[in-house]
Amino acid sequence: MAEYSTVNLGELEKFGDKLLELQESIAIEKAVEYAKNRMIEAYNSSEYWRRTGNLDDSFCWIVCYEGEKKAHGFLEEMPTANKSYSEKGTTKTGRGEAEKFIAKYTPEYEDGLEIVFAATTFYASMLEYGNERPVKQVLMGIKDMLNHDFGLVNVLIKKI
Per-residue pLDDT of the chain (160 residues; tens, 9 = 90+): 666 766 666 666 777 777 788 888 899 999 999 999 999 998 888 776 677 888 889 999 999 999 999 999 999 999 888 888 888 888 888 899 999 999 999 998 888 888 999 988 887 777 766 655 555 678 878 888 888 888 765 555 555 5
Residue 88 identity (one-letter amino acid): K
pLDDT, position 49: 67
pLDDT, position 142: 84
The three-class DSSP label of residue 61 is: strand
The three-class DSSP label of residue 11 is: helix
Q: Per-domain residue ranges for the chain?
A: 10-150
Residue 65 in contact with residue 24, Cβ under 8 Å? yes
Rg value, the chain, Cα:
21
Residue 95 in contact with residue 79, Cβ under 8 Å? yes
Report d(CA 54, CA 96) in Å as an integer. 9
Residue 142: how many other CB atoms lie within 10 Å: 23
